[in-house]
Amino acid sequence: MASSIANIDETLLRTYIHGCHIMHHHQVVDAYGHLSIRISPTIFLMCRYMAPALVSSRDDLVLYSVDTGEALDSNAPRGFSERYIHSEVYKAYPGVQAVIHSHSLDVVPFSLVPSRPLKACIHMAGFLGTAVPVWDATASYYQQHPDAERSMLVNNTEMGASLATALSTADCYGLPQHAVALMRGHGYVCTGESIEMVVAKAIYTAHNARVQTTVNCLVGASSTTSSNTPDILYFDEREATDTGRTTIQGAAKPWPLWVAEVTKDSLYTMDL
């Protein structure tokens, strides 16, 4: 398997760079956040420390060890301090082929109210299930490491491994029971079986959060004029499971549209 960016298939690199651009175009990331792709059981690829919208060439890409989260090339350009999110998810779930970390402002509010979990309420986001888990850096790490700087950044393997456990156990395919986990006051991690799939899941996670926020506003508005608070008809377990499966089967449909959008926008460049 390739241990150098120069040896990696150009089609895969194009898909990766398109994925970075699409995430930005759909506001999953701004200057922060990142996408990675597994290259082999022990190696993954992600861009260097830069805004995903500006990734354009092989020079922007770095190969990392799943085991350590460190670059294979000691002369590689600076990487993201939170690359351990990716390395530890790949380590814990051998079926995961792509990972996204996002700071989406649509999603972050649901990391702060334990009694109001993010849950599937649109058919394109059934993969979220009936309650998306929230990982709390303070409860899960800082309380055991009181001298650590509480930056909320997942900047070592121990924190990454702790976050990975929030996705629950691996199934028989090596995939986590939860495709997404929120990070308190920070963002979320999203997993998938391909770049196309993880980008789709990350986009529809944010869409779902917007709908859920809107419906909560509707309920709040109506409750000021009525003594009866209306029920919110979230998806049940079966609806979430079945719609989630359908989304996975249909993930290829939006990709050509999303690629066309970023290809026609001069902000995004491809130099392969």
Active site residues: 82
61 within 8 A of 45, measured Cβ to Cβ? yes
Measured CA angle at 255 (ends 243, 79), to 5 deg: 105
Sheet holding 98-102, edge to edge: 61-65, 43-47, 34-40, 98-102, 187-192, 180-183, 134-135
Q: State the angle between helix axes of 10-25 and 195-223 in degrees (0 to 180), rounded to the nearest 10.
A: 10
The residues facing 100 across adjacent strands are 35, 190
In the chain, the amino acid numbered 114 is P
Sequence-distant (≥ 6) Cβ neighbours of residue 1 within 8 angstroms: 39, 40, 43
